């Protein structure tokens, strides 16, 4: 029997889906960890990115800083934080929030900066406050790029939470770490397939959301505002 046949046999064995260590429970854990990570990263990076994109304040400092964060080795960072905080969720959560910050931050300020300056100037000319310019013009029109940053971060986080299982924590990474310990390669490959499928599903969901992120009415409104200013 080939490795893939064994992996799919493991995946479709009913007993592997039941209990607290079953595939269903591990998927739920993995999604929970990933959701917490992305939520924290969004709360930190999104407002900062919108501020930078709208005002330009701190751009010269933040862009090199986010580049430096991207260069951090995730496994090394996990190890250092684990030595500091011990085993458990705290160390990988901090490490993966740091991993998720750069794409969300970059997507936020790039999304705002991508909005046509003529549209922004026209909205100001019609009496919009700076908050209204950001919330009603820049944020809606830049939302596809902003969501693209969150989408990129989400895929990185889903993939990388598997590495954190060596600390140990739950999630789908358990199948890789535990399978390696007992040389159960069917379990390892099966767990990898589940991670890949989960990432593809999340990516597809973001693709659908991004597709409808900018309502037609918003684009029509921006055109009307610009015409009125002219």
Q: Which pLDDT value is given to residue 201?
A: 95
pTM passes above 0.95: no
Provide the domain count of the chain. Answer: 1
Q: How far apart are CA 193 and CA 3, in angstroms?
A: 12
At which residue do the structure tokens 């909205």 appear? Answer: 123
Whether residue 51 has pLDDT greater than 60: yes
Summarised one tens digit per residue, pLDDT across range 63-102 is: 787 778 777 888 888 888 888 888 888 899 999 999 999 9
pLDDT value of position 228: 53
End-to-end CA distance of the chain: 72
Q: For residue 100, what are the domain limits?
A: 3-229
Mean pLDDT taken over the chain: 86
Looking up residue 18, the CATH number of its domain turns out to be 1.10.3720.10
Percent of the chain with pLDDT over 70: 92
For the cut 70, the answer to whether the pLDDT of residue 168 exceeds it is yes
Instruction: Please tell me the distance from the alpha carbon of residue 17 to that of residue 26, in angstroms, as a whole number.
Output: 9
């Amino acid at each position: 029997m080939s490795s893939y046949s064994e992996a799919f046999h493991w995946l479709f064995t009913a007993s592997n889906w039941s209990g607290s260590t079953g595939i269903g429970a591990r998927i739920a854990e993995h999604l929970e960890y990933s959701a917490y990570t992305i939520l924290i990263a969004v709360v930190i990076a999104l407002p900062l990115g919108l501020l930078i994109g709208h005002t330009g304040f701190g751009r010269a400092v933040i862009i090199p800083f986010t580049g430096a964060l991207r260069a951090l080795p995730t496994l090394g960072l996990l190890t250092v934080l684990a030595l500091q905080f011990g085993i458990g969720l705290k160390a990988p959560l901090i490490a993966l929030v740091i991993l998720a910050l750069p794409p969300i931050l970059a997507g936020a300020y790039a999304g705002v900066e991508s909005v046509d300056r003529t549209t922004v100037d026209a909205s100001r000319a019609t009496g919009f406050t700076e908050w209204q310019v950001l919330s009603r013009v820049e944020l809606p029109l830049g939302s596809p790029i902003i969501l693209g940053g969150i989408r990129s971060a989400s895929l990185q986080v889903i993939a990388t939470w598997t590495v954190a299982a060596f600390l140990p924590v739950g999630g789908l990474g358990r199948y890789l770490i535990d399978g390696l310990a007992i040389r159960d390669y069917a379990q390892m490959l099966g767990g990898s397939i589940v991670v890949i499928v989960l990432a593809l599903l999340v990516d597809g969901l973001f693709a659908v959301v991004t597709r409808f992120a900018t309502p037609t009415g918003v684009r029509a409104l921006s055109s009307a505002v610009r015409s009125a200013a002219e």
